[in-house]
Structure 1
Amino acid sequence: MPAAPAPAPASNPGPAPAAAPALASPETLERARPFGRVTEDGHVYVVVDGEEVLCGQFPDATEDEALGYFARKFEDVEAQVALLEQRVAAGAPSSDMLKTVDHLVEQVAQRNMLGDVKALEARLEALRPAIRELEAAERAAHEAQRAQNVAAREAIVAEAEKIAAQDPQRTQWKQASARMAELFEQWKAHQKSGVRLGRSAEEALWKRFRTARTTFDKHRRAFFSQLDADNAEAKKAKEALIAEAEALSGSTDWGATAGEYRQLMDRWKQTKRASKKDDDALWTRFRAAQDRFFEARKAANDQLDQEFEGNLAVKEQLLAEARALLPVTDLKAAKRALGDILDRWEQAGKVPRAHMRRVEAELRTVEDAVRKVEDEKWQRSNPETKARSNSMLAQLEAKIEDQEAALAKAQAGGDTRRAAKLEGELATSRQWLETLRRSAADLH
């Protein structure tokens, strides 16, 4: 080893170890020898920038033991530097990295280790800009994440405000309530795991979100309060209608009571609806009261129908007799026979309701046919009709005589054009005369 320079005072010479540690590896010793020496009394020096600095003292030990002790301290710090370099290169979270660098720099500055401390200090200083770059990247990522979280919170708040602004009368409360609960859970999830937004931004968004939820809850309570009031009002009104329906259910005044039930039904339709459950139960009671009345009426009518079956057979026979009168060939005989049929028809009594319209319509058809024949006969024998027909015949005959005279005059004068026109008019008049004569013959 070359002559050693004068030793500089140690900054913090460590005390001698209480017991000799295990020997360092040959590799460790070889790395350490160029940077230090051990005196006969066990003092260990490290060379820094050409000057020796006292590391500490290791008495009662061999040179290798002394060198190895302080070399391992250097390797411990060097290992920490290497680990920090790996973390920086891997882009690990930078929190406390600069503090770690400062701590290691402070350790190296104490010069109580044996090795290339200047190279180690250079490595530590080289880490600072890399860590700052990592911090800057983390801040940028943090800001991007914050902006994303702000946008997500903004979207939650905007949707909550939109739901709260809906018309309470048109809001689907079940779906809207479920969605508002989902938005609140999303808010809590962002608050728990997302990047902090900053106190002012967080408070401003929370205030809007809280206001939207409060408004929504206020509208919901008001809506359902009014709904309960309307439901109570509707129930009261329908309970009154049910009482009326039940009071009528035992009536045997079939026609009048059926009309009253129709009026009750109209009033029921005009009444507000209660809740579905209440409305269904109320309708069941109202319908039951009606059913009791109409079932009793049906039973009474069925009994009457059974009694009227015999009357139906009589009237079916009378219809057969009435149909036999058609077509009418002898009006007097037909009228006489029809009058007898009508008398017996009234005496036969009522028929079952299912057949009432049919038999009455069939009898009316025969009556109408006989009446039509009678009306036609009256028209033919009406003196006024006859007189009007005779007057028209006389007028038309006089007109024809004038047309014949005019035609003869035109022919004699050689006026062929006028003669042709008069011939056409005369032919039309003669056709009308023939028609009137046939009609007049029918009136006699």
Structure 2
Amino acid sequence: MTTDPWGRVDDDGTVYVRTAEGERAVGSWQAGEPEEALAYYHRKYEELAGQVQLLEQRVRGTDLPPAQAEASIQKLREAVTEAHAVGDLGALQGRLDALTEIVGRRRDEVKAARDKARTQAREVKERIVAEAERIAEEATHWKSGGERLRQLVEEWKAAERIDRPTEAGLWKRLSAARTAFAKRRKAYFSSLDEQRDAVRDEKERIVAEAEAIAGSTDWNATAAAYRELMRRWKAAGRASREVEDELWTRFKGAQDQFFHARSAVFAERDASFAANAEIKEALLAEAGKLLPITDARSARAVLRGILERWEAAGPVPRDQRDRLEGGLRKIDDSVRKAEENEWRRTNPEARARAQDTVNQLRRSIEQLEARLSKARTAGRDKDVKEAEEALTARRSWLEEAERTLAEFS
């Protein structure tokens, strides 16, 4: 019988392997020496050990999925258990046990990473849904809102999948938000169309009225009517661009027809008023010689004659009217002011009131000066201060009252 630390060959050629559970027959050898039999079964062991080593390298050096690694370990474990080989099979089992622990830890890590990824994915999708619901409820910028919803769907597709029930529930909310946004947008534009139709109807009425009076020669009343139509046009709002442009062209055309006709009539009339303007220019220059006013009564008499000739001269061109009328009005204002000053200066009642005011203030000052003298003599500082302040005020009032009285002299 030939022996070995891990096995032996019996006299009948049976080959045994030694394990922790005892010996186990792994084969027989009938041809050749027993040493050759042990060498053959040692090579079988080495082949099995090489497979274990290769699996160790894959488990430790690559991202071999835990399920695949466990299947490979189980397959090798069965092969070691039933191996027809001679060697330290227990050591191989120990190495496989160590690999099982490594794979177990990796499975836990993968599960934790997957759970974390799913948690993050759920948070991402909950954020996506929450934003979509806000857009559905609040957005009024329809183009950007619709574009953002499309981006959110793409973000959803790019995110990791989560558990089926949660995934389905969140997707249902996202779909509902998109549908709600689409309904709100459709309702808004439907309402906008109704508003634009109402604006179109109002502006068609405005255009019809404008076209109806385009040939009028009642210049003032019709011009006022066009100003009112323009106010209504601006207040009506906007129709669709095509309708707005077409109606505005018609409205402006009616206005232009009226105002061009009015301008032509006014231009012809202004030309006939040029001689009147020359007369009024001369009258204005004549009135200007009254300034400055030294005798209000005689100035008024002269100006009255100028005004009579002014009215008799007739209308002037519109572009000169304001300047001429304004110039004469300033001279008339100067004469009126001179008349008022003269009346105030010669008014006996006003002069008497002014004199009475001066007299009262002088008496008040005399009384205050006496009070001040007594207070200083008695050393009453508070009374001195009050009297001085009152005197300062009364003297200021007296100066003003005396200037007013002097105007009557």
Structure 2 equivalent of residue 102 of structure 1? 74
Deviations 1:27-73 (A, max 9, x none): xxxxxx975789999x89462337463347798x9999988876665
Aligned partner of 2:17: which letter?
V
Quote the offset at 1:128 in angstroms: 1.8
Is the Cα contact below 8 Å between 1:160 and 1:180 reproduced in 2? yes
Report the RMSD for the aligned CA atoms in angstroms: 4.3
Q: Does 1:89 align with 2:79?
A: no
Over alpha carbons, which structure has the higher Rg? 1
Deviations 1:144-164 (A, max 9, x none): 111111111111111122222
- The correspondence for 1:297, drawn from 262, 274, 284, is 262
Structure 2 equivalent of residue 154 of structure 1? 126
Structure 2 equivalent of residue 245 of structure 1? 210
Q: Does 1:324 align with 2:289?
A: yes
Quote the offset at 1:378 in angstroms: 9.4
| Aligned pairs for 1:207-356 within 5 A | 207-275=172-240, 279=244, 282-283=247-248, 285-326=250-291, 327=293, 335=301, 338=303, 340-356=305-321
Q: Does 1:48 align with 2:18?
A: yes
1: distance between equivalents of 2:256 and 2:9?
120
Is the Cα contact below 8 Å between 1:325 and 1:334 reproduced in 2? no
Higher percent of residues as helix: 2
Q: 1:110 to 1:377 in 2, by over 3 A?
A: closer
More displaced stretch, 204-213 vs 364-373: 364-373
Aligned partner of 1:154: which letter?
E
Q: 1:265 to 1:44 in 2, by over 3 A?
A: farther
More displaced stretch, 144-153 vs 203-212: 203-212
1: distance between equivalents of 2:115 and 2:143?
38
| Aligned pairs for 1:397-412 within 5 A | none
Q: 1:214 to 1:366 in 2, by over 3 A?
A: closer
2: distance between equivalents of 1:212 and 1:56?
77
- The correspondence for 1:117, drawn from 64, 85, 89, is 89
Is the Cα contact below 8 Å between 1:273 and 1:279 reproduced in 2? yes
Identity of aligned residues (%): 42
Structure 1 equivalent of residue 392 of structure 2? none
More displaced stretch, 292-301 vs 150-159: 292-301
Aligned partner of 1:251: which letter?
S
Quote the offset at 1:231 in angstroms: 1.7
Is the Cα contact below 8 Å between 1:319 and 1:363 reproduced in 2? yes
SS at match of 1:251: coil
Structure 1 equivalent of residue 149 of structure 2? 180
Aligned partner of 2:81: which letter?
A
2: distance between equivalents of 1:102 and 1:344?
130
SS at match of 1:88: helix
Aligned partner of 2:2: which letter?
A
Quote the offset at 1:136 in angstroms: 1.5
Quote the offset at 1:184 in angstroms: 1.3
Is the Cα contact below 8 Å between 1:48 and 1:118 reproduced in 2? no
Quote the offset at 1:245 in angstroms: 2.5
Is the Cα contact below 8 Å between 1:74 and 1:114 reproduced in 2? yes
Deviations 1:82-123 (A, max 9, x none): 232234334723122211111112223332445443322222
Structure 2 equivalent of residue 10 of structure 1? none
2: distance between equivalents of 1:299 and 1:55?
131
When normalised by structure 1's length, the TM-score is 0.65
Aligned partner of 1:84: which letter?
L
Is the Cα contact below 8 Å between 2:129 and 2:170 reproduced in 1? yes
Q: 1:216 to 1:56 in 2, by over 3 A?
A: farther
1: distance between equivalents of 2:246 and 2:48?
86
SS at match of 2:67: coil
SS at match of 1:312: helix
Q: 1:133 to 1:366 in 2, by over 3 A?
A: closer
1: distance between equivalents of 2:69 and 2:172?
38
Deviations 1:401-444 (A, max 9, x none): xxxxxxxxxxxxxxxxxxxxxxxxxxxxxxx9xx8xx98xx9xx
Unaligned stretches of 5+ residues in structure 1: 6-32, 397-431
More displaced stretch, 79-88 vs 208-217: 79-88
Aligned partner of 1:187: which letter?
W
Aligned partner of 2:144: which letter?
Q
Structure 1 equivalent of residue 98 of structure 2? 126
Quote the offset at 1:238 in angstroms: 1.8
Is the Cα contact below 8 Å between 2:2 and 2:35 reproduced in 1? no
Aligned partner of 2:80: which letter?
V
Q: 1:237 to 1:109 in 2, by over 3 A?
A: same
Deviations 1:159-188 (A, max 9, x none): 12222222x6xx222222222221111111
SS at match of 2:66: coil
1: distance between equivalents of 2:113 and 2:47?
34
When normalised by structure 2's length, the TM-score is 0.70
2: distance between equivalents of 1:254 and 1:342?
28
SS at match of 2:168: helix
Aligned partner of 1:206: which letter?
W
Structure 1 equivalent of residue 51 of structure 2? 80
Aligned partner of 1:131: which letter?
V
Q: 1:99 to 1:355 in 2, by over 3 A?
A: same
Structure 1 equivalent of residue 324 of structure 2? 359
